[in-house]
Amino acid sequence: MELTKDIKEKLEKLDKKYASIGQDLPAYLDGLLYANPLHYWDYTYVDTLLSLQHPKTDFPDEQIFIIYHQITELYFKLALLEVEQISNNGKKLSDDGRDMGWNDSLSAHFFVERLKRINSYFEVLTSSFGIMINGMEKEQFLKFRMSLLPSSGFQSAQYRLIEISCSHLINLTDKEQREKLKDASIEEMAHHFYWKDGAIDVKTGKKTLMLENFEKKYMAQFIQRAHQFRDKNLIAKYQQLSVEEQQNEDLIHQLRLLDLNVNVNWPLVHYKSAVRYLSSGKEDIDATGGTNWQKYLPPRFQKRIFFPELWTEEEMNNWGRQWVVKALSES
Ligand code: HEM
């Protein structure tokens, strides 16, 4: 084989790359010589992925329940990757493609493009939720769910990390306490996360075991994340843009869309699944987590809003309202 100019240039670039980190190129070329070709199954860990479903019962529909939760968690992961890119101003790459760290500032264009991705993930999740609402036999669901006590999707840590990374922490606190918590520490605010209210045992009025277990496992991580993202959550990043960039209509549109996707549209289709399986005439069925879900899940009651700065008072007063009525009438 001829050592063309192109190949020589590539070798020089490689040499420079390894020299810059104190490494020896010939040793790495040896590595290339002995390395096996990459296979799809090694790269994607598909066999591992497909071995991660462990139903607790023999009802076939339980697999659907597990797999759809896993799919959702993967989309949550995609969303978090994009939020992190925005928070870190996007990655700067060197000419030869090496990671050179973070940019100094965030452009509105990059912000918009990444928000579009996150919105597309949530739109897929919202439109595919029919797999939960209509895609399982109610009789099977009502039986296998009893083997899953007291766990719940409520215990999804990524869901909470998305919230903490999108908004100022005060917007994620119990809305009755917000005025009082305005100048409180992160720890104090975390003590009043709005979702704690949703995990009260209907019979005892106390914290559910589901919530206690969740807090024990993840609370320290949530507080750490809240510290990390205090000045670089999505609304903080928006507020750090120039006044002119803050007027960017695409940007405002994508942020508002995200608020609707995460805090109204997804919660609504999700709520519909609870209505389908757990609503039965006068007396609703207890949730797996044992919670007051009817009073907690509807977005109209939660009024969870990441970017209040971008909505009018009227829009916020009517948050999720028409959706609740529609969902209930269609159920
Ligand atoms: C048949 C399907 C489903 C039903 C009946 C259902 C039911 C419920 C109920 C009743 C709650 C309130 C907490 C509790 O008592 O457990 C809840 C919370 C939650 N579930 Fe589901 N769920 C379903 C599917 C899913 C899926 C696929 C996910 C995806 C990860 C998920 C994620 C969540 C989250 C994040 C919460 C907390 C919501 C919030 O704090 O506003 N759920 N679910």
* Distance separating alpha carbons of residues 191 and 4, to the nearest angstrom: 65
pTM of the entire predicted model: 0.92
Let me know whether 11 and 87 are in one domain. Answer: no
Let me know whether 155 and 216 are in one domain. Answer: yes
Let me know whether 221 and 326 are in one domain. Answer: yes
Let me know whether 181 and 281 are in one domain. Answer: yes
Where helices occur in 100-248 by DSSP H, the ranges are: 108-128, 130-133, 138-144, 157-166, 178-181, 186-191, 209-228, 234-240, 243-246
What amino acid occupies position 204? Answer: T
Domain residue limits at 29: 5-35
Supply the CATH number for residue 295's domain.
Answer: 1.20.58
Let me know whether 178 and 293 are in one domain. Answer: yes
Residue 236 lies in a domain: yes
Q: What is the total count of domains within the chain?
A: 2
Candidate of 270, 284, 295 to mutate for ligand 1, largest count of ligand atoms within 8 Å of Cβ:
270
What amino acid occupies position 268? Answer: L
For the beta carbon of residue 272, count every other beta carbon within 10 angstroms: 23
Least Cα distance to 259 among 302, 199, 214 occurs for 302
Find the residues whose C-beta lies inside 6 A of ligand 1: 68-69, 72, 132, 152-154, 156, 159, 195, 198, 267, 270, 273-274, 277-278, 287-289, 291, 293, 297
What amino acid occupies position 299? Answer: P
Least Cα distance to 262 among 112, 117, 69, 126 occurs for 126
Residue 41 lies in a domain: no
Please write the tens of the pLDDT for every residue from 65-117. 999 999 999 999 999 999 999 999 987 666 666 667 777 789 999 999 999 99
For the beta carbon of residue 129, count every other beta carbon within 10 angstroms: 20
Residue 257 lies in a domain: yes
Residue with the smallest CA separation from ligand 1 atom 36 is 154
| Mean predicted confidence (pLDDT) in 237-262 | 97
* Distance separating alpha carbons of residues 264 and 89, to the nearest angstrom: 27
Residue 287 lies in a domain: yes
What phi, psi does 89 have (nearest 5°)?
Answer: 65, 15
Residue 14 lies in a domain: yes
Residue with the smallest CA separation from ligand 1 atom 12 is 293
Task: Look at 296 and 160; give whichever has higher pLDDT.
Answer: 160
Distance 294 CA to ligand 1 centre (A): 12
For residue 331, what pLDDT is reported? 46
Q: Is 232 helix (H, G, I), strand (E, B) or coil?
A: coil
| Cα torsion 152, 157, 159, 164: sign | positive
* Distance separating alpha carbons of residues 248 and 270, to the nearest angstrom: 32
Let me know whether 118 and 85 are in one domain. Answer: yes
Distance 263 CA to ligand 1 centre (A): 14
Let me know whether 60 and 169 are in one domain. Answer: yes
Let me know whether 18 and 80 are in one domain. Answer: no
Least Cα distance to 315 among 326, 329, 303 occurs for 303
Please write the tens of the pLDDT for every residue from 26-68. 999 999 999 999 999 999 999 999 999 999 999 999 999 999 9
Q: How confident is the model at residue 289 (pLDDT cuts 50, 70, 90)?
A: low
The answer to whether residues 210 and 303 touch, using CB atoms and an 8 Å cutoff, is: no
What value does the mean pLDDT of the chain take? 92
Let me know whether 14 and 136 are in one domain. Answer: no
Residue 210 lies in a domain: yes
Residue 40 lies in a domain: no
Please write the tens of the pLDDT for every residue from 137-187. 999 999 999 999 999 999 999 999 999 999 999 999 999 999 999 999 999
For residue 112, what pLDDT is reported? 97
Residue 254 lies in a domain: yes
Distance 146 CA to ligand 1 centre (A): 15
Let me know whether 18 and 140 are in one domain. Answer: no
Let me know whether 173 and 301 are in one domain. Answer: yes
Using CA atoms, how far residue 20 sits from 17, 97, 175, in Å, is 5, 14, 53
Let me know whether 14 and 141 are in one domain. Answer: no
